[in-house]
Amino acid sequence: MQGFETFPVTKQITFHKLLVDARGKWLVDALRDVVRDIDPSALKEQLVEYVPRDVQQILAGSGIRDEDVFPTPIVLAAQSSLVGYYRLLLGVGQKTFYRSGTGMSPLQKMELTGKINETQRTLLPEFCKSLSTSLANLVRQTSPAITGRDISELSLLTRGAQFQGGSNVRIGQQATREIFAVIGEIVHSYITDRTDRNLVLLNAAGRTVFITLSADPDVSIREQFEGELRNKVAIEIKGGTDVANVHNRAGEAEKSHLKARDENYRDFWTIISKRSVRPKGLRQARRRPLPGLILPKC
C-alpha cells in the first residue's frame, strides 16, 4: 500500500511568529489597543473631516467603525506603525507604496519603527487625506457590501504575500550561501586569503583572482591584470522548492546576466539550487572547472 507524504511545518511556525508580531504593530489588534486610549470626541472630529458622508453611511450599515478603514492624524501620532495597517488594507506592497514619486517615503520609518518625528507629524493631515480617497473608493466599489471580516482578511492577504516573499528571499539567500561554500571547497587548495564573502586565489598565470559573494551578480569572479580588475564570470543563483517555477527563476537570472554583460563580464552562469546542493551538486561541479580561473592541473 502506498503511503502519503508528510510535509514540514517549519515555514508555518515561522509565519505564526511573524503573525503574532504583526498583530501588535500593523493589524486590527494594534489599532483597537490605540483607539481605546484616544479621546473619542477628538477622534470623531477628525473622522468627519476625512470620511465622505456616503461612505460613513455604508460603514454604519455594515457595523464597521470609521477608524477601522480610515487613518487620522491622532491615531497615527499615537501609534506610528499603523501606517502599515492602512497600507495593508489597500493591498499595496511596501516597495510600491514607498517608491519614489508617491510622496509616501518620508513615512516609511513610521511603519517600521513605530516612531515619529516632527517633520513626519506635519505630513499626517495630507497623508490621511490622500489615503482616504483610495479607501473611500474601496468601500464604495466592494460588492457585496464590505464587512468587518473583509477588513481583517484583506489586510491579512496582503501581509501573507509579504510573508511568502520574505520566505522566498530567505530560501534564495540560503541557496547562495551553500553554492558559495561549494565553490570554496572546489578551489580550496588555491586560496591565499578568505572571508565570509570573499575568496582570494592565485591562478596558473600568477594573477590574483577574487571570487566575491555580492548582490548583483550573486557571485562574481574577477581577475587582477595590469593593475585593474577584469570582470570574468557572473554567477546568478536561484533557490527554491517549486519545480514548476524553475523556468521563471531562469528568466530572472537571464535579466541579471544582461546587466552583467553591460559590465563586460565574459562568462555567465545560472545555478538553480533545489533544496540542497550537497552532495550531488558538489560532485557535478568538480567535473567542470570554474571558467576564468586558469587553475593548474592537480
Domain residues of the chain, as ranges?
10-146, 174-286
Is the C-alpha dihedral spanning 5, 11, 15, 16 positive or negative? positive
Mean pLDDT of the chain: 82
Q: Tell me the percentage of the chain whose pLDDT exceeds 90.
A: 43
pLDDT digits (tens, 9 = 90+) for 112-131: 999 999 999 999 999 999 99
Whether the full predicted model's pTM is greater than 0.85, yes or no, is no
Which residues make Cβ contacts (< 8 Å) with residue 198, sequence separation at least 6? Answer: 210, 211, 212, 213
Which pLDDT score is estimated for 88?
92
pLDDT tens, 135-151?
999 999 999 999 999 99
Residue 87 has pLDDT above 80, yes or no: yes
The order of strands in the sheet holding 198-202 is 191-194, 198-202, 208-213, 219-225, 228-240, 267-274
- The mean per-residue pLDDT over the stretch 276-294 comes to 44
Give the confidence band of 46 by pLDDT, cuts at 50, 70, 90.
Answer: very high
In sequence order, what are the beta bridge partners of 240?
274
Confidence of residue 160 (pLDDT cuts 50, 70, 90): low
- pLDDT at site 258: 73
Average pLDDT over residues 270-286: 52
pLDDT at 30 over 70: yes
Four-CA torsion 104, 109, 112, 116, nearest 10 degrees: -110
Tell me, what's the pLDDT at 1? 66
CB 268 within 8 Å of CB 234: yes
**Rounded-to-integer distance, Cα 35 and Cα 160, Å:** 25
Return the pLDDT at 283: 43
Report pLDDT for 74.
Answer: 97
pLDDT band at residue 43 under the 50/70/90 scheme: very high
Of the chain, the percentage scoring pLDDT greater than 70 comes to 81
CA dist 24 and 33 (Å) reads 9
pLDDT in tens, 198-252: 999 988 888 899 998 887 788 889 999 888 889 988 888 876 555 545 445 555 6
What H or E segment, with its residue span, contains residue 271?
strand 267-274
* H runs (alpha helix) in 222-279: 246-262
Q: Specify the length of the chain in residues.
A: 298
